[in-house]
């Protein structure tokens, strides 16, 4: 059974060629397309995909990062990959914090798209080597391990993060805990592990 | 000469006796005098034409007297004080009320043509007027408030008796002089010139600021246009690249596919250069971030792929010497700079060598050497199109210089001893505390 993919881009040519390329891969099939945030949320709700590819800029309306939050609120475990012509150093971290499973620059995407899709559908985060080093530098030495987390909510949170559930709303729903408490625990875990940012936490855990 | 101009001041007195001094006469009954000499409060109402000289009544100044003095001072120099009071009164009256236009004409006759021309040149709007006033002269100049200080500062040096901001409008500077002779008229001119210069400078400064703001606005619009264009161009090439991938899968790689692929690679490459140029010309070349990190081996590999996609027949040798390969600088910027150097070398020289080496101090050195015959000087200039056959526009190297400088890197291009062109990018082991400025790129040697 192939992974079901929805493609969201405001350029028809991009959607068509992405569909053609993906359809030729034995592991994936395109089950829906959209060109705007509202249309994308409707298609995602109808199709319940395993993966959504989202363009960062969707015309003059809300952009891909806002859409990512919306998708993760609907389907917390559905990975979202953001594709963009804008450089990763500008938006990749925001994308991760919104719950995306990766950020691909269109300049490089043609060669790495399927690798990224496979990593994302496995619940992991896909980023370029330079972004990984930027967000989680090798100079960072965590002050604790995941095994040092004793709070039950914290352990459940980490388990959800490892499943690919990275939006606050999705985590709150999964654990039946209010979003402010989720935020509070994420900050606590980040500090306990000695990590410099939420994005670094997602990378470390994932 | 000024003696052709009326110098006589008419006066009346109230509360004291004063004999008419030389240069003054008592007003006839019914005649409105130029000056009222009084010992008491300033009469009210009073004609705006009449000056009030208060004697032994200092508080009269606060109630509208034009000048105050003691009896002893009045006895010592009655003519001078009468003229001064009258001069001050004239200053506080609007020019339009002054019927003595003949004085202005007389003074203008006295001033040499070149001096008048000088003053007129400074006042193209014609807001400078010269008026004769007894044996004094009054100058009004439209000037900013800062000119007041400048005019006052020159007062003593030019021997003027006083300069004051007589008019309530802050743009007027008025110099009051009350010496005899045409000499002091010429002396007053530097004050006027200073005031005019200050006004002109302020006007020029305002116009310059306005021009700068307009230019900045235009530059910002151009930068935004380039940024949008770059983004939109990427959305043109991305589906083409995707379609090529599909076609490769379906029909393999016939010759025409290669042509398509190379053209797309060229177009994508030019879009990236456009993005670099947008950064540089918009003054926004990215500065180094503390978390920046690049693997030079990955940078070289990406550059090699981009160059070979565009120039499949290019001969590019990469020599990568001994780890460590990670440097603390931005990977996209390093890739952009190295790619510019390598593609320049390949495009214009045919063959290129790329060498990464590491110096004992921990710095890294990326050397790109071409073996073509591109004249070095062309790389430093933006050439007109008709010379394109000999070399490129030089724009890529210009952008590379600025990108390198913004990151605190050093980029030099020079002729090697054997005539080939060498470009050397030096990457320091430890970034300096302040990233390089985008204003001054390293010079091309």
Phi, psi dihedrals of residue A137, rounded to the nearest 5°:
-60, 150
Put simply, the answer to whether A21 touches B326 (Cβ < 8 Å) is no
Owner of token pair 């140029």:
B277
Put simply, the answer to whether B331 touches A106 (Cβ < 8 Å) is no
B68: nearest Cα among B80, B79, B55: B55
Residue B352 · residue B368 · CB < 8 Å: yes
Asked if the interface predicted TM-score (ipTM) of this complex is over 0.95, the answer is no
Owner of token pair 């008025």:
B174
Question: Using CA atoms, how far apart are residues A57 and B235, in angstroms rounded to an integer?
Answer: 11
The A-side interface with B (CB below 8 A) comprises: 11, 13-14, 16-18, 20-21, 24, 57, 85-87, 89, 106-107, 109-110, 129-130, 133-135, 137
3-class secondary-structure state, position A46 = helix
Cα torsion B191, B194, B198, B200: sign: positive
Q: Which residues contact A155 (CB under 8 A, 6 or more apart)?
A: A149
Distance from the Cα of B193 to chain A's closest Cα (Å) equals 56
B265: nearest Cα among B332, B343, B335: B343
Q: What is the CA radius of gyration of chain A?
A: 17
Higher local confidence (pLDDT), B179 or A79 = A79
Put simply, the answer to whether A86 touches B241 (Cβ < 8 Å) is no
Pairing of strands B9-14, B35-38: parallel
A63 pLDDT band, cuts 50/70/90, is: confident
A139: nearest Cα among A186, A93, A196: A196
Question: Using CA atoms, how far apart are residues A138 and A132, in angstroms rounded to an integer?
Answer: 9
pLDDT mean for each 10 residues of chain B (445 residues): 48 89 88 87 72 75 71 86 74 44 46 34 33 41 43 38 34 38 47 57 74 81 78 82 87 79 81 73 65 78 82 75 68 84 76 82 84 49 38 63 81 74 83 44 28
Question: Using CA atoms, how far apart are residues A45 and A56, in angstroms rounded to an integer?
Answer: 20
CA atoms within 13 A on the CB side of B381: 12
Q: Which residues contact B48 (CB under 8 A, 6 or more apart)?
A: B93, B97
Question: Using CA atoms, how far apart are residues B256 and B253, in angstroms rounded to an integer?
Answer: 8
Distance from the Cα of B358 to chain A's closest Cα (Å) equals 20
Tokens linked to B58: 């200092």
Put simply, the answer to whether A14 touches B292 (Cβ < 8 Å) is no
Please name the member of A130, A135, A137 whose beta carbon is closest to the beta carbon of B331: A130
Q: What's residue B343's pLDDT?
A: 82
Question: Using CA atoms, how far apart are residues B119 and A20, in angstroms rounded to an integer?
Answer: 80
User: Which residues from chain B sit within 8 angstroms of residue A137, using beta carbons?
Assistant: 291, 293
Q: What's residue B302's pLDDT?
A: 82
Distance from the Cα of B240 to chain A's closest Cα (Å) equals 8
Question: Using CA atoms, how far apart are residues B196 and B150, in angstroms rounded to an integer?
Answer: 10
Question: Using CA atoms, how far apart are residues B202 and B208, in angstroms rounded to an integer?
Answer: 10
Strand order in the sheet with A102-105: A28-34, A3-8, A51-55, A80-84, A102-105
Pairing of strands B172-176, B136-142: antiparallel
Cα torsion B367, B371, B372, B374: sign: positive
**Partners of B69 in beta bridges:** B55
B69: how many CB neighbours lie within 10 A of its CB? 22
Q: What is the 3-class SS of A79-146, one letter each residue?
A: CEEEEECCCHHHHHHHHHHCCCCEEEEHHHHHHHHHHHHHHHHCCCCECCHHHHHHHCCCCCCCCCCH
Cα torsion A117, A118, A123, A125: sign: negative
Q: How far apart are the first and last CA of chain B?
A: 69
B189: nearest Cα among B227, B228, B157, B145: B157
Q: Which residues contact B116 (CB under 8 A, 6 or more apart)?
A: B108, B130
**Confidence (pTM):** 0.56
User: What's the burial of B309, exposed, middle or buried (CB within 10 Å: 0-12/13-18/19+)?
Assistant: middle
Tell me which of A73-82, A129-138, B138-147, B305-314 is least confident: B138-147
A5: nearest Cα among A96, A66, A23: A23
User: Which residues from chain A sit within 8 angstroms of residue B230, using beta carbons?
Assistant: 85
**Partners of B355 in beta bridges:** B319, B367
Put simply, the answer to whether A20 touches B231 (Cβ < 8 Å) is no
Put simply, the answer to whether B230 touches A129 (Cβ < 8 Å) is no
Q: What's residue A127's pLDDT?
A: 87
Q: How far apart are the first and last CA of chain A?
A: 25
A87: how many CB neighbours lie within 10 A of its CB? 16
Residue A165 · residue A76 · CB < 8 Å: yes
Residue B103 · residue B7 · CB < 8 Å: no
* Buried b / exposed e along A101-119 (16+ C-beta atoms within 10 A): bbbbbbbebbeebeebbbb
Residue B271 · residue B388 · CB < 8 Å: no
Put simply, the answer to whether B238 touches A134 (Cβ < 8 Å) is no
Pairing of strands A51-55, A3-8: parallel
User: Which residues from chain B sit within 8 angstroms of residue A135, using beta carbons?
Assistant: 291
Please name the member of A17, A106, A134 whose beta carbon is closest to the beta carbon of B246: A17
Phi, psi dihedrals of residue A118, rounded to the nearest 5°:
-70, -40
3-class secondary-structure state, position A184 = helix
Put simply, the answer to whether A17 touches B231 (Cβ < 8 Å) is no
Question: Using CA atoms, how far apart are residues A54 and A10, in angstroms rounded to an integer?
Answer: 10
User: Which residues from chain B sit within 8 angstroms of residue A89, using beta carbons?
Assistant: 286, 289, 330, 332
Please name the member of A16, A107, A135 whose beta carbon is closest to the beta carbon of B268: A107
Establish whether the linkage from the previous residue to B45 is cis, with ω within 30° of 0: yes
Owner of token pair 């400074």:
B122
Q: What's residue B53's pLDDT?
A: 87
Question: Using CA atoms, how far apart are residues B31 and B47, in angstroms rounded to an integer?
Answer: 12
- List pLDDT tens digits, range A97-126: 888 999 998 878 888 899 999 999 988 889
Q: What is the 3-class SS of B243-262, one letter each residue?
A: HHHHHHHHHCCCHHHHHHHH
Question: Using CA atoms, how far apart are residues B173 and B142, in angstroms rounded to an integer?
Answer: 7
Strand order in the sheet with B67-69: B24-26, B9-14, B35-38, B51-55, B67-69
């Amino acid at each position: 059974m192939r992974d079901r993919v929805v493609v969201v881009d405001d350029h028809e040519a991009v959607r068509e060629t992405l569909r053609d390329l993906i359809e030729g891969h034995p592991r994936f099939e395109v089950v829906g397309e959209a060109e705007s945030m509202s249309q994308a949320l409707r298609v995602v709700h109808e199709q319940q995909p395993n993966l959504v590819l989202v363009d960062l800029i969707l015309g003059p309306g809300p952009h891909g990062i806002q859409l990512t939050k919306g998708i993760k609120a609907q389907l917390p475990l559905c990975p979202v990959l953001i594709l963009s012509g804008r450089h990763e150093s500008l938006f990749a971290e925001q994308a991760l914090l919104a719950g995306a499973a990766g950020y691909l620059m269109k300049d490089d995407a043609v060669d790495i798209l399927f690798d990224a899709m496979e990593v994302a559908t496995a619940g992991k985060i896909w980023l370029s080597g330079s972004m990984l080093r930027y967000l989680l530098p090798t100079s960072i030495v965590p002050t604790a391990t995941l095994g040092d987390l004793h709070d039950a909510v914290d352990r459940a949170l980490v388990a959800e993060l490892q499943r690919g559930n990275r939006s606050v709303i999705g985590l709150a729903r999964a654990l039946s805990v209010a979003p402010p408490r989720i935020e509070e625990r994420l900050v606590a875990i980040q500090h306990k592990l000695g990590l410099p940012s939420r994005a670094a936490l997602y990378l470390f855990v994932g | 000469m000024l003696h052709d101009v009326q110098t006589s001041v008419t006066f009346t007195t109230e509360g004291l006796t004063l004999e008419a001094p030389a240069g003054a006469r008592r007003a006839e009954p019914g005649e409105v005098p130029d000056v009222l000499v009084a010992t008491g409060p300033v009469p009210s109402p009073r004609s705006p034409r009449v000056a009030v000289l208060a004697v032994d009544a200092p508080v009269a100044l606060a109630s509208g007297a034009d000048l105050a003095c003691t009896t002893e001072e009045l006895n010592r120099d009655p003519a001078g004080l009468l003229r001064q009071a009258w001069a001050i009164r004239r200053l506080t009256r609007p020019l339009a009320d002054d019927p003595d236009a003949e004085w202005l004409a007389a003074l203008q006759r006295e001033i040499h043509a070149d001096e008048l021309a000088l003053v007129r040149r400074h006042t193209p709007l014609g807001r400078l007027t010269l008026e004769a006033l007894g044996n004094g002269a009054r100058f009004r100049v439209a000037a900013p408030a800062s000119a007041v200080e400048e005019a006052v500062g020159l007062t003593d040096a030019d021997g003027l008796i006083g300069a004051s901001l007589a008019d309530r409008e802050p743009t007027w500077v008025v110099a009051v002089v009350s010496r005899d002779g045409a000499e002091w008229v010429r002396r007053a001119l530097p004050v006027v010139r200073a005031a005019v210069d200050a006004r002109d400078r302020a006007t020029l400064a305002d116009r310059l600021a306005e021009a700068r703001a307009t230019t900045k606005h235009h530059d910002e619009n151009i930068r935004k246009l380039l940024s949008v264009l770059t983004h939109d161009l990427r959305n043109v090439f991305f589906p083409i690249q995707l379609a090529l991938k599909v076609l490769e899968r379906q029909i393999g790689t016939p010759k025409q596919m290669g042509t398509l692929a190379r053209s797309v690679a060229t177009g994508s490459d030019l879009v990236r250069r456009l993005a670099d140029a947008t950064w540089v010309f918009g003054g926004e070349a990215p500065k180094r971030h503390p978390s920046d990190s690049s693997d030079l081996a990955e940078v070289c590999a990406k550059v090699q792929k981009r160059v070979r996609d565009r120039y499949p027949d290019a001969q590019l040798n990469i020599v990568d010497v001994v780890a460590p390969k990670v440097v603390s600088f931005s990977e996209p910027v390093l890739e952009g700079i190295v790619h510019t150097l390598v593609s320049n070398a390949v495009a214009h020289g045919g063959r290129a060598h790329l060498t990464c080496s590491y110096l004992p101090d921990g710095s890294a050195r990326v050397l790109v050497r071409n073996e073509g015959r591109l004249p070095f000087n062309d790389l430093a200039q933006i050439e007109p199109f008709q010379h394109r056959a000999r070399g490129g526009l030089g724009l890529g190297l210009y952008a590379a210089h600025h990108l390198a400088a913004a990151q605190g890197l050093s980029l030099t291009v020079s002729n090697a001893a054997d005539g080939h062109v060498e470009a050397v990018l030096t990457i320091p082991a430890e970034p300096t505390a302040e990233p390089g400025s985008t204003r001054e790129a390293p010079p091309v040697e």
